[in-house]
Amino acid sequence: MEVRKIAVLGAGLMGHGICQVAAQAGYQVRLRDIKQEFLDKGMSMIQRSLSKFQSKGVLTEQQVQETLSRIHPTLDLKEAVADVDLVIEAVPEIVEIKKETFREVDSYTPQHTIIASNTSSISITELGSATNRPEKVCGMHFFNPPQLMKLVEIIKGAKTSDETIQTVMEVAQKMGKETVLVKKDVPGFIVNRILTPALNEAVALYWEGVADRDDIDKAIKLGLNWPMGPLMLLDYIGADTVLSITEVLSKEINVKFQANPGLKQMVRAKLLGRKTGKGFYDWTGK
């Protein structure tokens, strides 16, 4: 199946980036959110990002204008998805909100439309069960920021067809992404299954007083060649997000993934990282 039109649901942190990447690749994109202010903010972030690419010589002014001309913001879900070939859902990471979105999208879209979720931890099989087309539901997990990060995890639900996977892989590759296939629908997929315990252990080292913050981050940057240390990365992701992923992993897979008490304490204290201004690092004024 050839994909020509895409709808991106959610203009937030991930959604606006996915929309931009799709439009840059030549797709007509409908960007939908529930409030005009969210759409306006998403569009201004897209414009800012494209301007940066232009100033660095990655895009010409004409390419920037062509990209923007392919994006059609809307508040109307039915209008957003009525004639598209692929829907990419990037709404808040709450199961019931996602399932309700999938139910509505299923009722408004043509039979051939694929519905993909950008979820990082929610079961694709469960989301597919909210529709009458589970064979056309899959995971399409982008990484933050989608404009720069090369990887997309493609996740197969229990009933996802091979044709759906093939189509979505081709779309991701046309967007300039590298893809990996997650053959089983397990919590955390590949990256978060490996990354989350590593972040959790970095918190443990810090809270147990084994090493200082800067030495923990320096050790992993220089010893494992990470671009940034685990505690700084945790601040970028958000302690609350990491905690919620550890809870899913420990509940669904094994108690060995249980969150360190220090991580829970930071969330209780609202020391979430960049989003609240303080975490392991001080982000106020940056």
Whether 187 is covered by a domain: the verdict is no
Same domain, 238 and 107: no
| CA-wise closest residue to 233 among 259, 266, 203 | 203
In the structure encoding, which two tokens stand for residue 286, read together? 């940056």
**How many domains does one find in the chain?**
2
Where are any strands of DSSP class E within the chain?
5-9, 28-32, 71-74, 86-89, 114-117, 137-142, 151-156, 178-182
What's residue 13's pLDDT? 84
Catalytic residue selected from 126, 153, 200, 260 = 153
141 is catalytic: yes
| CATH number of the CATH domain containing 226 | 1.10.1040.10
- The per-residue pLDDT for range 94-139, each reduced to its tens digit, is 889 999 999 999 999 999 999 999 998 889 999 999 999 999 999 9
Same domain, 199 and 128: no
Same domain, 157 and 18: yes
120 is catalytic: yes
Chosen domain end from 182, 217, 236? 182
Chosen domain end from 182, 216, 234? 182
Residue 214 clears pLDDT 90, i.e. is over it:
yes
192 is catalytic: yes
Number of H helices, E strands in the chain: 12, 8
Where in the sequence is the domain holding 167, given as residue range(s)?
5-182
Catalytic residue selected from 49, 121, 123, 192 = 192
Residue 89 clears pLDDT 80, i.e. is over it:
yes
Residue 286 clears pLDDT 70, i.e. is over it:
no
Whether 211 is covered by a domain: the verdict is yes
In the structure encoding, which two tokens stand for residue 109, read together? 């879209």
- Kind of pairing between the strands at 151-156 and 137-142: antiparallel
Same domain, 122 and 18: yes
| CATH number of the CATH domain containing 55 | 3.40.50.720
Rounded average pLDDT over 207-219? 98
Same domain, 149 and 9: yes
Catalytic residue selected from 120, 123, 200, 260 = 120
Same domain, 210 and 94: no
Residues 106, 79: contact at Cβ < 8 Å? no
Same domain, 148 and 261: no
